[in-house]
Every structure is written in structure tokens, then in C-alpha cells.
Chains A and B, each alone.
Chain A
């Protein structure tokens, strides 16, 4: 049985777009850049900027892979929440729930 995370407010994750990026990644192994951009309805430069912040914090890892379904050489960017990012997100969500005063 896994223990409930200790609530810890994280300033890096709390920025709305960054919280939403991490929230999407929490339940999957990896998501492609374009799908995250489409789901969050943000521009590519905005998403890139927030991903850079998360990557520098060690919360997110980016990998590139070829797209076999396309004729050009465009690479797909896959986004993965690192174990450190997962722990920080879980602690931040626990902090938010504590603020709300529910177990949500």
C-alpha cells in the first residue's frame, strides 16, 4: 500500500500551465508535444517555455523520435514526467487539497 504524499507547495509546478502539463502526464507514460498543446489549447512557444522550466527543474524529460507515418524528417517530441516530477506533483496536489480542505 502506498503512503499518501506529504503536502508540499511547489512554486515551479504551481504556475497554471505547468500544473496542467504535469497533471496530464501523471497518468500516462509519455505524451507527444502536439497532443499536449492541443489538449491545453496553448501555443507551441508557450508550451516550449514552460517545458524548459520543468526540464531545468528535473521534473520533465523530453525525448525525440522519428515519425514513421510522415514523409518528411520531422521528429516527434515525447514528454515524460520524471520520478522527481511525479513526487513534486503529488506533494503539490496534496498541498492544494489541504488548502481546499478536502481529500478531493
Chain B
């Protein structure tokens, strides 16, 4: 059996290099599933679009679709984990910041949608909804890639 003293330094160095290579391969293998990222974008578009059915002002009540969207997003996140086969311990600063930006973008677009509805431009909510779809699909992909890259960087 190998012992501490019988291991050749070049063999030990090779073992360490192999571990680095494995982490890089893992980051590549754990690609974000495009269909599920699009599903997250569609959920964001649906939520932002729901602003069109509200009455901004003193009598404003948030649409029930907000809770449904959150529940559906949790379901998609679970599906992402199952599909990729990775449960991250830490996503890293870049992924965390990107995820926070994703939430912020949704909130801003929802607020803009409410403002458009109160200004009588309900039709324009289609544009904010479209923007939410594009932004969330892109940002969720970027956040996932950042988390996978964090694994590769030892």
C-alpha cells in the first residue's frame, strides 16, 4: 500500500492537477438547463404582466399571481437542481450579486408596470413583461454559470 513516504512528488503533483481538472469538467458538465431558465423568464414575465390587471392607487391589492409565481419559481429551482445534479453549498459573490440583481430588475419592472397602468398606458405593460422575460432568462443563466465557475475555482 502507498504510504506518505513512498509517494513520488511528481505523482502527488499529478493527483493535485487532476483534481483541478475534475472541478473544471464538473463546472462544464453542470450547464444551466436552457428550458428551465426560459421557464424562470416566463414566470417573471407573467408576474410583471399581472400588473396590468391591478388598480394602482389607494385601493391597490397585490395580485394573487405573486404568490403563485414565487411557488412556481421554487418548483423550477428544484427542477434545476435535479436536472443538473448539483446542490451548491456556496454560490459565490458573483452569483449572489447576479441573483439579487435579478430580483431587483423584477421589482423595478413591476413598479414601472404599475406606473404605466396608473397613467392609462396598460398596453405598455406588454413591453415591461417582455423585458422581464429577457432579463430574467439571461440573469438566471449568468447566475447559474457564476455558481458553477465558483466550484471550479479552488
Query: Closest 6 CB pairs between A and B?
Result: A32-B85, A35-B85, A9-B4, A23-B19, A30-B87, A99-B12
A28 with B87: CB separation less than 8 A: yes
Q: Does A67 contact B (CB under 8 A)?
A: yes
**What DSSP secondary structure best describes chain A's contact surface?**
helix
B9 with A31: CB separation less than 8 A: no
Category for how many chain B residues contact A: 20 to 34
B15 with A96: CB separation less than 8 A: yes
Given contacts A28-B151, A99-B4, contact A39 B22 (CB under 8 A): yes
Category for how many chain A residues contact B: 20 to 34
| Residues on B facing A (Cβ under 8 Å) | 1-4, 7, 9, 12-13, 15-16, 18-19, 22-23, 25-26, 29-30, 78-79, 82-89, 150-151, 154
User: In whole angstroms, what is the CA distance A79 to B2 when docked?
Assistant: 26
B78 with A68: CB separation less than 8 A: yes
Q: Does A24 contact B (CB under 8 A)?
A: yes
- Closest residue of chain A to B11, judged by CB? A99
B26 to chain A, nearest CB (A): 5
Residues of A within 8 A of B26 (CB): 24, 31, 35, 39
